[in-house]
Chains A and B, each alone.
Chain A
């Protein structure tokens, strides 16, 4: 029934009131003339409201005269009536047309690039590679040569095993499959030595084949010979073999920091200022040119790309900028509090330097020294790493 209502909205309908003594006869003769009425509601014994389509309304006059009923239009509704109402508003019509054309033209271009997969692959690098083959934000879709671009990237990057490009609406989705680096295959029968490929102190040395030239506790440098592919036997004499060994080195990483017990701390006052920025592709509009009036503040910027549905991105970016006011405050720490704080900070710094996600599996040493008002903390990471590469003679 709702579909019929929708259809009636598009063709237009009229709300009418019918008045007369023989209203039932009026309804029945409407049926017999195949006139569709709906939402009939009685107001009193000689008066009712009903809806009727525009087309049928023209036929109703004859019936009304025959049944001696008075028909009045209370209002007209529907799309044709709406268009008729706005027919003189040319600017509105032009504006709608312009917007429609604008959107149609905009959807011919690419406004967003999504890169899916490839956790260890830098998105910016992929984007510059794409740009080299002409795939860039703001370029026309029809000009793209996707096969060529894919081939080019595959040739240049060895760490990508597969790459696929999908265009959905104005969104370009790049799917990447990372390749695992295949280890160099060395024939077991070939004679080789094991050589250090990094510095460190040897903590574990298990030789499976060959003769060790270092011992546990030795400090080695890159390029040093660790295990020689030679075996000496009482009866067999010296023979050359394929060296095999598991070698681990201890590695240290350390960081230290000194901090005062009394510190100035930044606290938020709760005051904030908001600013809006709109970006059309490369053209920026700032609604509020001046900077924040706060002396000290944090800036938070959240950017959102406008889009229709899920894949029709528009070249419009709306950024909300919030300035949060900060205040400096004096705070006095106790020694354990400050130690914990410095330790956490150092841990974060070290993790960042070493590229670790967390330091749960690392052996840690902490040295704490209190000198009057100052606390000195030294954090040492002890890590075990595999070393040694095979070097064919």
Chain B
């Protein structure tokens, strides 16, 4: 599967469940292919993905656009860290 997709150069987030994380500036973070929200507070958000957990710390965090597999977190983001499942 991986070999075929490498040949056709299809982005990984399209064919696998690997998340794609896009950070625009310090105030916007878009996570594609997420699984669910584990915890959400004003200053802290834990977002579950298929390969691990993304922790976002900051102030006034808002979950802006949410669809089945995209989520846009806005607010003053202080730091981001990952917890790998392996």
Contacts and interface: CB of A to CB of B under 8 A. Distances in A.
Nearest to A40: B63
B68 A40 contact: no
A41 B37 contact: no
Interface stretch (B3-11, B13-21, B39-47): B39-47
Interface string B29-63: 00000001111111000000000000000000111
- The size bracket of the interface on A is 10 to 19
Interface in A27-45: 27-28, 30-31, 34, 36-42, 44-45
B68 A38 contact: no
Contacts of A37: 63, 66
Given A28-B36, A31-B36, A45 B65 contact: no
A36 B65 CA distance: 8
Nearest to A26: B37
A369 B8 CA distance: 99
A24 interface: yes
A28 B40 CA distance: 11
Nearest to B36: A28
Given A23-B40, A27-B37, A27-B40, A41 B66 contact: no
Contact of B41 (A28, A34, A39, A42): A42
B84 interface: no
Interface string A6-33: 0000000000000000011001101100
A1 interface: yes
State the main secondary structure of chain B at its contact with A: strand
A45 B72 CA distance: 20
B65 A42 contact: no
Nearest to A41: B62
Contacts of B67: 31, 36
B56 to A, nearest CB: 13
A177 to B, nearest CB: 56
A40 B72 CA distance: 10
B75 to A, nearest CB: 9
Contact of A24 (B38, B42, B61): B38
A4 interface: yes
B76 to A, nearest CB: 14
B83 to A, nearest CB: 17
Contacts of A30: 66
B22 interface: no
Contact of A42 (B36, B40, B66, B68): B40
A206 B52 CA distance: 104
Nearest to A24: B37
Interface of A: 1, 4, 23-24, 27-28, 30-31, 34, 36-42, 44-45, 48
Interface of B: 36-42, 61-68, 72
Given A27-B37, A27-B40, A34-B68, 7 more contacts: A4-B65, A31-B36, A31-B67, A41-B62, A42-B41, A42-B62, A45-B41
